[in-house]
Amino acid sequence: MEECNDLKHFSKENIIDIILICIIGTIFHFAYEFSGRNILVALFSATNESIWEHIKIAVMAIYFVAFVKMVIKEKRDKNLWVSLFFKNISVLLIISIFFYSYKAILGIENLFLDLIILYISAVISQIVESYIKKCVNVSAKIEDIYKYLNIIFILFFIIFTFWTPNLGIFRDFTVEKYRIGGI
């Protein structure tokens, strides 16, 4: 466990994951509009400019990369489901904190800053995932529980895309409305 006290557990694969998550997350930011507001594309891409939808594009990009890796790799990563869950929780926290901080300090919303926050969250969450995969021992039973928590997490994003609570995190600040496309 000595190597877990620094970033030696961080690998070339982690850097590739960060790059892929940033590229896919950026694509997911614009995909709904570019698709002509296709309802299937709404399942994984931003449908408005709410903080929730910005979190969704990062989370869905992470799950997309993880799914592709599960298909390609012969052996499943250790602590896959636990690390994915906490990776996405860290994204949720990082994006929320950074978004509300810059909005409060600068009093603006800015697409460039939103994308920078996505990229920062990709890096930090990858460090979280890498640490959990390499440095934490989890039982098979706990891993199974986290598999279902990940499924629930994905379902929340899909459900809240179409049926959004009237909470600030779901409000499209550009039009001061809720739901798909600020409707």
State whether the Cα torsion 50-51-52-56 is positive or negative: positive
pTM for the whole structure:
0.90
Geometric angle at alpha carbon 98, from 95 and 104, rounded to 5°: 130
pLDDT tens digits, 30-49: 999 999 999 999 999 999 88
- Residue 116 to residue 46: CA distance in whole angstroms: 16
143-153 per-position pLDDT tens digit: 999 999 999 99
- Tokens for 124, please give them: 């930090």
User: According to the model, what pLDDT value does residue 5 have?
Assistant: 65
Q: What are the sequence ranges of the domains in the chain?
A: 10-182
Where does the pLDDT of residue 107 fall: very low under 50, low under 70, confident under 90, or very high at 90 and above?
Answer: confident
Structure tokens at 147: 């598999």
pLDDT of residue 7: 66
Provide the mean pLDDT of the chain: 89
Looking at residue 2, its pLDDT comes to 47
Higher confidence at residue 112 or residue 63? 63
Please give the Cα distance from 61 to 122 (Å, whole number): 10
DSSP H helices in the chain? 12-34, 51-72, 80-106, 111-135, 140-162
| pLDDT of 86 above 90 | yes
How large is the average pLDDT for residues 147-168? 92
Spatial separation of the C-alpha atoms in residues 111 and 152, rounded to whole Å: 29
